Amino acid sequence: MTKDQIILGIETSCDETAASIVRNGREIISNVVSSQIESHKRFGGVVPEIASRHHVEQVTIVIEEALKQANMQPSDLDAVAVTEGPGLVGALLIGINAAKAFAFVHQLPLVGVHHIAGHIYANQLVEPMQFPLLALVVSGGHTEIVLMKEHGSFELIGETRDDAAGEAYDKVARVLKLPYPGGPHIDRLAHESEEAIDFPRIWLEEGSYDFSFSGLKSSVINYMHNAEQRGEEIKPQAVAAGFQNSVVEVLTAKTLRAAKQYNVKQVIAAGGVSANKGLRKSLEDTFAKEGIPFTVPPLFLCTDNAAMIAAAGSVMFEKGHTSTMAMNGRPGMTLFDWN
Nearer Cβ to other proteins, position 85 or 236? 85
> In the 8-state DSSP scheme, what is residue 146?
E
Minimum separation from the CB atom of position 333 to other proteins (A): 14
Q: Helix (H, G, I), strand (E, B), or coil: what is residue 143? A: strand
Nearer Cβ to other proteins, position 123 or 323? 323
Beta pairing class for 133-138 and 143-148: antiparallel
210 is in an annotated binding site: no
219 is in an annotated binding site: no
Taking Cα atoms as reference points, which of 315, 320, 296 lies closest to residue 137?
A: 296
139 is in an annotated binding site: yes
Alpha-carbon distance 243 to 163, whole Å? 14
Nearer Cβ to other proteins, position 96 or 113? 96
Beta pairing class for 133-138 and 266-270: parallel
Alpha-carbon distance 230 to 221, whole Å? 14
Strands (DSSP E) along the chain, which ranges? Answer: 6-11, 16-23, 27-35, 79-85, 110-114, 133-138, 143-148, 155-159, 266-270, 294-295
Nearer Cβ to other proteins, position 71 or 218? 71
Nearer Cβ to other proteins, position 47 or 224? 47
248 is in an annotated binding site: no
Minimum separation from the CB atom of position 188 to other proteins (A): 27
Side-chain-facing half-sphere of 138: CA atoms under 13 Å: 28
What strand order describes the sheet that includes 294-295?
Answer: 155-159, 143-148, 133-138, 266-270, 294-295
Asked if 301 and 58 touch (Cβ cutoff 8 Å), the reply is no
Minimum separation from the CB atom of position 69 to other proteins (A): 16
35 is in an annotated binding site: no
Nearer Cβ to other proteins, position 35 or 214? 35
Minimum separation from the CB atom of position 49 to other proteins (A): 4
183 is in an annotated binding site: yes
Nearer Cβ to other proteins, position 64 or 192? 64
213 CB-contact burial (10 Å; exposed 0-12 / middle 13-18 / buried 19+): buried
Minimum separation from the CB atom of position 194 to other proteins (A): 38
323 is in an annotated binding site: no
Asked if 210 and 160 touch (Cβ cutoff 8 Å), the reply is yes
Minimum separation from the CB atom of position 48 to other proteins (A): 9
Which residues bind to other proteins, rule: CB under 8 A? Answer: 42-43, 47, 49-50, 52-53, 56-57, 59-61, 63-64, 74, 89-90, 93-94, 96-98, 100-102, 104-106, 324-329
87 is in an annotated binding site: no
15 is in an annotated binding site: no
Asked if 173 and 236 touch (Cβ cutoff 8 Å), the reply is no
Q: What are phi and psi of 141, to 5 degrees?
A: -115, -10
Minimum separation from the CB atom of position 39 to other proteins (A): 10
Show binding-site residues for substrate.
137-141, 170, 183, 187, 276
Show binding-site residues for Fe cation.
115, 119, 304
Show binding-site residues.
115, 119, 137-141, 170, 183, 187, 276, 304
